[in-house]
Structure 1
Amino acid sequence: MPTAVAELNGYRKDRINHDEPVPAAGEVEPPAWMVAVHQLADDGEESALQVWRRLAPDLIAKKVLTPWDVEAFAVYCTSVVGYRRAAIEVAVEGMTTRGSQGVVKNPAVTAMKDCADLMNRYGAKFGLTPSDRAALAIKPDEGKGKGAERLLG
């Protein structure tokens, strides 16, 4: 559990890592593979890179998204797009489809579930779910301290 969350949850002080490593300041850019996929798959739908560009600036400003987190956030952005695409397929084709053995569950339903699970798991790491966000507070002078000090209110 991250130090900031442990402190917010009232963990004993001797169980909290007060020397948590803090990423060095630096540019937070989407991974090169995400940019390449965006260029290859330009199909008019919102891409993972566009999700990144929509959400990342606010997360970077709040010091939640750092250079160390780019791959994990890329997984989140990719799962958002995967979920949307699967949801469209389910809306068009329905929850079931005809298979060789009769009516079967549309594989897009499973894809939706898998992407939703990834969105929840990775989104929680960045405070992108309401319950995870409720557990955190960010100081107005964020970034002045190190480790949990930059997140605790």
Structure 2
Amino acid sequence: MGKRGPAAKPTQLRVLHGDRTDRINDREPVPPVGVIVCPDWASDGAREIWARLAPELEKRKVLTTWDVDAFLILCEALARYRNATALVNGSALLVQGGSGLMKNPALQVQAEAERTFLTYAARFGLTPSDRQSIKVEVGGDQDHQGGPGRLLS
């Protein structure tokens, strides 16, 4: 059986929110600083998504060397979602099957990819509801005038 209840708040956020010190894990493992690159076995579609999203996540220390595989799953799921959506858009919702009309199989691929993407997107704070609890230093990012800055530490 998996863990129950809401997902634990990351330690960085506990510090930012001023949680009691006895509730902060001061011995949490910290990923080593290193170059973060897209794995060579990634699909072309995933590489395109990686190139679009990874630089900003890395700059904000959300994407670390330990997160590469999880982030690639996110990128592959979004690439698969794009491909399935293109198939659905180019064909009918119902297709001829062995026993008559059936739901287009691309819809199932699309739905599975969407679920996978949303699961991993939440882990990286890529949806509005997941970002709402993260506090950032406004104006701390030179590239985004008045936009999100970096996590406070």
Q: Normalised by the shorter chain, which TM-score bucket?
A: 0.7 to 0.9
Structure 2 matches for 1:1-153, cutoff 5 A?
Answer: 1=8, 2-5=10-13, 13-34=21-42, 37-38=43-44, 47-139=45-137, 140=140, 151-152=151-152
TM-score by length of 1: 0.77
Contact 1:28-1:66 at 8 Å conserved across structures? yes
TM-score by length of 2: 0.77
Q: Per-residue CA shift, 1:29-73, capped at 9, x if unaligned?
A: 111211xx43xxxxxxxx110110111111111111111111011
User: 1:137 Cα deviation (Å)?
Assistant: 1.7
Contact 1:83-1:112 at 8 Å conserved across structures? yes
| C-alpha separation in 2, matches of 1:27 and 1:65 | 11
Task: Name the amino acid aligned to 1:83.
Answer: Y
Higher-helix-fraction structure: 1
| Number of residue-to-residue matches in the alignment | 135
% same residue: 42
Structure 1 unaligned blocks of 5 or more: 39-46, 142-149
Contact 1:136-1:152 at 8 Å conserved across structures? no
Relative contact order higher in (CA < 8 Å, ≥ 6 apart): 1
Structure 2 unaligned blocks of 5 or more: 1-7, 142-149
